[in-house]
C-alpha cells in the first residue's frame, strides 16, 4: 500500500467525468488499498479516485462505522433534505454550507465484482452524494450556499468541545 497525493480543486482531473471500472484485478485492489490508506492518513470521511488522479468510478467512505469500497456506484434513491457544513480533501481549509438529501441509497460492486448496496442517513447520505459528485466532475462548492467564516468555524469548534 502507498499514500497517494490528493489533488486540489484547480487540477483539471477533478472536473472530468470518470469512466466505469471494467477490470476487477490486482491493479484495482492496489488502488482501493492505497485510497483507504490515503483517506485514513488525511483524516477524511470519503475519497474518490479522481481526487488521487485516477479517472475511474471508485470511492471509499469511512463515516466511523465501517470503511466501505464502492466501485461503479449509482445513487438509486434519495429522500428528504439536510443542510450542513461540508468540507473536502481537495478543497483544504474551506468549509461550506451544502443542502443534500437526508437519505441516500447506492448500488455498486465490491472489489471482486459482487453487487452491493449501501444506504444511510445524515453523514452517510451526505458522503455518498459528495463522493458520487466527484465521479461526475463536480466539486461541492458548486452547490454550496455559502462559505463559513473563520469565526464561524472557531465557534463551531468551541461548541463541539463543550
- Structure confidence by residue, pLDDT tens digits, 126-141: 999 999 999 999 999 9
Catalytic residue among 37, 66, 81, 131: 131
Of residues 64 and 72, more confidently modeled: 72
Can you tell me the mean pLDDT for 69-88?
97
DSSP 16: S
Q: What pLDDT is recorded for position 24?
A: 96
Is the alpha carbon torsion for 107, 110, 115, 120 positive or negative? Answer: negative
pLDDT at 161: 82
pTM here is: 0.94
The answer to whether residue 77 is catalytic is no
Asked if 63 contacts 131 with a C-beta cutoff of 8 angstroms, the reply is no
Q: CA 139 to CA 122: how far, in whole Å?
A: 19
Question: Residue 52 pLDDT > 90, yes or no?
Answer: yes
- Nearest alpha-carbon partner for 131 in 92, 75, 53: 75
More confident residue, 152 or 99: 99
Amino acid at each position: 500500500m502507498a499514500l497517494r497525493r490528493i489533488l486540489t480543486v484547480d487540477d483539471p482531473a477533478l472536473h472530468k467525468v470518470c469512466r466505469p471500472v471494467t477490470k476487477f484485478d490486482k491493479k484495482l485492489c492496489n488502488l482501493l488499498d492505497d485510497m483507504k490508506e490515503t483517506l485514513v492518513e488525511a483524516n477524511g470521511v470519503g475519497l474518490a479516485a479522481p481526487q488521487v488522479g485516477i479517472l475511474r468510478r471508485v470511492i471509499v467512505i469511512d463515516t466511523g462505522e465501517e470503511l466501505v469500497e464502492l466501485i461503479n456506484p449509482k445513487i438509486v434513491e434519495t429522500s428528504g433534505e439536510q443542510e450542513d457544513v461540508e468540507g473536502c480533501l481537495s478543497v483544504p481549509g474551506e468549509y461550506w454550507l451544502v443542502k443534500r438529501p437526508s437519505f441516500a441509497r447506492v448500488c455498486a460492486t465490491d472489489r471482486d465484482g459482487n453487487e452491493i448496496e449501501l444506504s444511510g442517513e445524515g453523514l452517510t447520505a451526505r458522503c455518498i452524494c459528495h463522493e458520487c459528485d466527484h465521479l461526475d466532475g463536480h466539486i461541492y462548492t458548486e452547490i454550496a450556499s455559502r462559505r463559513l467564516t473563520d469565526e464561524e468555524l472557531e465557534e463551531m469548534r468551541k461548541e463541539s468541545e463543550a
